[in-house]
């Protein structure tokens, strides 16, 4: 039985909340350091980018790698993570160049073509409606806008994820599946690459363009 089935709530990693969730989110910024670097290297954010991170957690990636973009935004379904991310990016939020919203990845609270770049870091595997979410990200990106998704655990990494699936209620995707889903959502120029990260022997990085 997974944690969800046991307590009727999502596991902390899937929706960090309360003190435990905040502690976990603080820890994640260190654990995901190499993953952030790999995403940033692929995304190549420029000062004129309008960037959105879906499943932004504590807002650490935004603070470290998107502090100089023209605009930035974060969305998370955990109210506590939205607060934490807003606090971590307070100066930008107060200046009006950054905003943080609570919501689900499958229904984004922004107009069509609002952003030039998007990322989903260590979160896609939790999404219950992944195809709808990809369509939504495609909708809020401008033509030519790019999306980077990182998946530390994936079907190509040679690990046995049965325990993780059971414990966290996650889905494990292969690069081929990711490519098909991204193309179905309307993306092109899909590239799936792999690199090493902390405790992730074959971190998957998916890049796609609207």
Ligand X SMILES: C[S@@+](CC[C@H](N)C(=O)[O-])C[C@H]1O[C@@H](n2cnc3c(N)ncnc32)[C@H](O)[C@@H]1O
User: x/- string (CB under 6 A) for ligand X, residues 81-100?
Assistant: x-------------------
Distance of CA 46 to the CA centre of its chain: 19
86's tokens: 């807003």
52: Cα within 13 Å, side-chain hemisphere = 26
Query: Is residue 52 helix, strand or coil?
Result: strand
Distance CA 115, CA 8 (A): 35
Contact between 123 and ligand X by CB under 6 A: the answer reads: yes
Choice from 51, 57, 93, 147 touching ligand X (CB under 6 A): 57
Residue 84 contacts residue 25 (beta carbons within 8 Å)? yes
Residue 130 contacts residue 181 (beta carbons within 8 Å)? yes
Contact between 204 and ligand X by CB under 6 A: the answer reads: no
Choice from 105, 147, 181, 204 touching ligand X (CB under 6 A): 105
Query: Is residue 11 helix, strand or coil?
Result: coil
Q: Which stretch binds ligand X (CB under 6 A): 56-64, 88-96, 136-144, 186-194?
A: 56-64
Choice from 62, 63, 122, 134 touching ligand X (CB under 6 A): 122
Choice from 56, 62, 118, 197 touching ligand X (CB under 6 A): 56
Contact between 77 and ligand X by CB under 6 A: the answer reads: yes
Distance CA 37, CA 31 (A): 12
At which residue do the structure tokens 């229904």 appear? Answer: 107
Of 149, 121, 98, the residue nearest 36 (C-alpha): 121
Contact between 104 and ligand X by CB under 6 A: the answer reads: yes
Choice from 13, 73, 170, 181 touching ligand X (CB under 6 A): 13
The minimum distance between CB 78 and ligand X, in angstroms, equals: 4
Total site size for ligand X, rule CB under 6 A: 24
Residue with Cβ nearer ligand X (38 or 81): 81
Contact between 22 and ligand X by CB under 6 A: the answer reads: no
Query: Is residue 188 helix, strand or coil?
Result: strand
Q: Given the rule CB under 6 A, which residues bind ligand X?
A: 13-16, 28-29, 32, 55-58, 60-61, 76-78, 81, 104-105, 121-123, 126-127
């Amino acid at each position: 039985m997974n944690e969800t089935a046991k307590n009727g709530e999502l596991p902390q990693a899937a929706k960090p909340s309360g003190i435990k969730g905040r502690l976990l989110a603080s820890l994640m910024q260190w654990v995901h350091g190499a993953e952030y670097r790999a995403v940033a290297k692929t995304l190549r954010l420029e000062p004129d980018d309008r960037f959105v991170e879906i499943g932004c957690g504590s807002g650490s990636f935004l603070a470290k790698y998107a502090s100089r973009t023209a605009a930035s935004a974060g969305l998370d379904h955990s109210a506590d993570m939205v607060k934490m991310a807003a606090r971590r990016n307070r100066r930008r939020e107060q200046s009006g160049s950054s905003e943080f919203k609570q919501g689900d990845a499958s229904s984004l609270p922004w107009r069509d073509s609002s952003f030039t770049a998007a990322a989903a870091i260590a979160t896609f595997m939790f999404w219950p409606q992944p195809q709808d979410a990809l369509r939504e990200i495609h909708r809020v990106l401008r033509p030519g806008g790019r999306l980077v998704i990182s998946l530390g655990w994936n079907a190509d990494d040679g690990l046995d994820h049965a325990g993780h699936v059971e414990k966290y209620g996650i889905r494990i995707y292969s690069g081929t599946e990711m490519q098909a889903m991204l193309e179905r959502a309307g993306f092109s120029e899909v590239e799936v690459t792999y690199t090493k990260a902390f405790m992730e022997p074959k971190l998957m990085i998916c890049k796609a363009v609207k």
